[in-house]
Amino acid sequence: MKKILILLITICGLSSYAQTIISLEEAMEFRKNNIAYPESVTYIKDVNGTLNKYLGRWKGSFGSKNYEFFITKYEEEIEFDSFKIDELLVRCLITDTNGTIIEDNRTISLDNVSIISLGLDNNPGVYRLFYAGKDSTCGNKANIYISINIQDANKMNFYTIPSHILMSDEECPNGYIAPIFPKDNLSLVKQ
């Protein structure tokens, strides 16, 4: 009887340290309902392959700029919350029609990326990102929403909403600097 009691106490003690993996979709439901993740969550994993449709090299042009995005999946460690999460890592190359490079963040370290992953949006099929480029205190930042075209999985819609900012003449002597992405839908094609 004593051995059974010790075994039960050991099992209960170990279960209190259990690690839980939840899906990206479950995490989105927690956020949508303003509910904190259970403390046992150690990994928010793309168990359903939801991010796979975004992966790859995507190209498009708008006005006098050519946009090329390189999207990969990576596992980010969220230290202050003590869990890991699968996210998209988006790098880009933007050139003008002559091929002159406007922005190239393909080789920037993870600590200095300019496009930050925010995860699945509350709208089904939409993924959220945030861009903060050079001179972001003067306006070069925006919320980005990407979604795969329903009729053609090789086409992506890329929408931006510029961030509202308060700036001073002292900080921004050249005035407002618009984000480098168009406000209108940027249509991208998978390469």
128-164 tens-digit pLDDT:
999 988 888 888 889 999 999 999 999 999 999 988 7
CA distance 22 to 94: 36
For the entire predicted model, the pTM comes to: 0.82
What is the predicted pLDDT for the residue at 9? 42
Tokens found for residue 83 = 């869990």
Q: Using CA atoms, how far apart are residues 53 and 51, in angstroms rounded to an integer?
A: 6
Burial code (b: 16+ CB inside 10 Å, e: under 16) for 147-177 equals: bbeeeeeebbbbbbebeeeeeeeeeeeeeeb
Residue 35: is it exposed, middle or buried by C-beta count within 10 angstroms (0-12/13-18/19+)? exposed
Q: Which segments of 124-172 does DSSP mark as H helices, in order?
A: none
The 3-state DSSP class for residue 164 equals: coil
What mean pLDDT do residues 120-131 have?
90
Per-residue model confidence as pLDDT tens digits over 22-47: 999 999 999 889 999 898 999 999 99
